[in-house]
């Protein structure tokens, strides 16, 4: 995978940061983005501050990649908002924000990435869903709905992009110890973990293992698939 | 402001690029009257996607204009800019002009 060109959304923190550090260390050229700045510095890394729902800013980011490399090999749609909140206590502003970041952002990046990937008739797109989808946990209605939409996007885009040499797959991690869960209570985390076949936190390396499989050049026949870590 | 004849050259160059990957009997004619999208036929959707993408990239390279051809305005127009190569050239000229004015 050396010399591949990759985009990772939400690259400044958590799993996105871990993946960014890992793939740059392998020699891949990584273009990352997040709303805030990143303190990660590496010769193979370029960072853009943007909102993943900002069509103009996202378009500009991909145009820079096109001008520099004329191609894109991998997109990891990692950026997302996680929340646990009872349906009766969730304001519409939160619902909108979650849907826009998790669904619209994934859609927008996938669309722009595919425009670039099709030039080379090759591409790997990986979406981030969640165990919240199959587990249907109370308090996660809009989060689970947004992540179910991400699975649906991947399954449908896999068909849209099949003739372009682009695969689209989804990884659904359980709880990973990152900043995304910093505001979630211990009781909620415990309850979530208890629903899984393997009731423990996932390590970032375990998430990466699935991504490595999806983005491998040898995985050209793997598309429209979802792998839930932790078991359902 | 981009001359229409210059934009036409860009669109024809994009057609050349797309035609390179098409068999002889499916070549897109470089003619302003070539039908792109029509109820009774037109280009294969994948060919159209590739053509639009190629035009957008070439417009950015040649005119330093960032345009998105398949936008809400284009989709809502009664007379679709995707009807023929000629109507598409007119629409691309309009988008370049709007980008210049931004």
Q: In this predicted structure, what is the pLDDT of residue A1? A: 66
Q: In this predicted structure, what is the pLDDT of residue B45? A: 87
Instruction: Give the mean pLDDT of chain A.
Output: 93
Q: How confident is the model at residue A180 (pLDDT cuts 50, 70, 90)?
A: low
Query: Which chain A residues are Cβ-neighbours of B68 within 8 angstroms?
Result: 59
| Beta-bridge partners for A77 | A127
H or E element at residue B30: none
CB contact under 8 A, B60 and A60: no
Q: In this predicted structure, what is the pLDDT of residue A196? A: 86
Q: In this predicted structure, what is the pLDDT of residue A107? A: 98
Give the minimum alpha-carbon distance from A118 to chain B in angstroms, rounded to a whole number: 8
Is residue B18 pLDDT above 90, yes or no? yes
Q: In this predicted structure, what is the pLDDT of residue A217? A: 97
Give phi and psi for B77, each to the nearest 5.
-70, 140
Q: How confident is the model at residue A179 (pLDDT cuts 50, 70, 90)?
A: low
pTM of the full structure = 0.89
Chain B residue with minimal CA distance to A161?
B46
CA–centroid distance for A116 within its chain: 18
CB contact under 8 A, A66 and B53: no
Interface test with chain A among B51, B55, B57, by most A beta carbons within 10 Å: B57
Regarding beta strands A226-228 and B37-38, do their DSSP bridges make them parallel or antiparallel, or are they unpaired? unpaired
Nearest CB to B53; choose among A60, A63, A115: A115
Give the minimum alpha-carbon distance from B4 to chain A in angstroms, rounded to a whole number: 24
Q: What ipTM goes with this model?
A: 0.75
Give the minimum alpha-carbon distance from B23 to chain A in angstroms, rounded to a whole number: 16
Query: Which chain A residues are Cβ-neighbours of B50 within 8 angstroms?
Result: 118
Query: Which chain B residues are Cβ-neighbours of A164 within 8 angstroms?
Result: 46
What CATH number is given to the structural domain containing A93?
3.40.50.720
Nearest CB to B66; choose among A59, A118, A163: A59
Give the minimum alpha-carbon distance from B65 to chain A in angstroms, rounded to a whole number: 11
Nearest CB to B66; choose among A63, A119, A164: A63
**What single string gives the DSSP state of each residue in B29-92?**
P-STT-BSEETTEES-HHHHHHHHHHHHHHHHHHH-----SSSHHHHH-SS-TTSBHHHHHHHH
H or E element at residue A46: strand A45-49
For residues A141-168, average pLDDT: 97
| Domain B4-22+32-101 fold | 1.10.1200
Closest CA to A18 of A190, A212, A149: A212
Q: What percent of chain A has pLDDT over 70?
A: 97
Domain count, chain A: 1
Can you give the residue range of the structural domain that contains A113?
5-228
Q: In this predicted structure, what is the pLDDT of residue A181? A: 64
Is residue A106 pLDDT above 80, yes or no? yes
């Amino acid at each position: 995978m050396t010399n591949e060109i990759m985009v990772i959304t939400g690259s400044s923190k958590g799993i996105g940061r871990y993946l960014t550090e890992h793939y740059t260390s392998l020699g891949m050229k990584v273009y990352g983005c997040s709303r805030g700045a990143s303190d990660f510095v590496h010769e193979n890394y370029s960072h853009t501050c943007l909102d993943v729902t900002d069509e103009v800013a996202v378009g500009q980011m991909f145009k820079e990649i096109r001008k520099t490399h004329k191609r894109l090999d991998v997109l990891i749609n990692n950026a997302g908002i996680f929340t646990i909140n009872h349906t009766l206590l969730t304001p519409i502003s939160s619902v909108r924000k979650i849907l826009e970041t998790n669904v619209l952002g994934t859609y927008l990046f996938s669309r722009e990435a595919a425009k670039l990937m099709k030039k080379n008739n090759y591409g790997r797109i990986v979406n981030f869903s969640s165990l919240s989808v199959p587990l249907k946990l109370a308090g996660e209605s809009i989060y689970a709905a947004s992540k179910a939409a991400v699975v649906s996007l991947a399954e449908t885009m896999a068909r849209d992009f099949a003739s372009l040499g682009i695969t689209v797959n989804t990884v659904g991690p359980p709880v990973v110890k990152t900043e995304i869960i910093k505001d979630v209570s211990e009781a909620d985390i415990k309850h979530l973990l208890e629903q899984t076949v393997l009731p423990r936190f996932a390590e970032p390396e375990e998430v990466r293992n699935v991504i490595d499989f999806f983005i491998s050049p040898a995985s050209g026949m793997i598309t429209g698939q979802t792998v839930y870590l932790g078991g359902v | 402001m981009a001359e229409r004849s210059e934009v036409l050259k860009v669109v024809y160059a994009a057609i050349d690029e797309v035609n390179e990957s098409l068999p002889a009997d499916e070549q897109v004619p470089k003619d302003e009257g070539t039908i792109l999208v029509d109820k009774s036929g037109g280009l294969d959707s994948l060919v159209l996607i590739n053509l639009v993408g190629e035009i957008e990239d070439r417009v950015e390279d040649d005119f330093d204009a960032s345009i998105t051809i398949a936008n809400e305005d284009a989709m809502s127009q009664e007379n679709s800019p995707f009807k023929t190569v000629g109507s598409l050239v007119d629409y691309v000229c309009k988008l370049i002009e709007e980008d210049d004015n931004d």
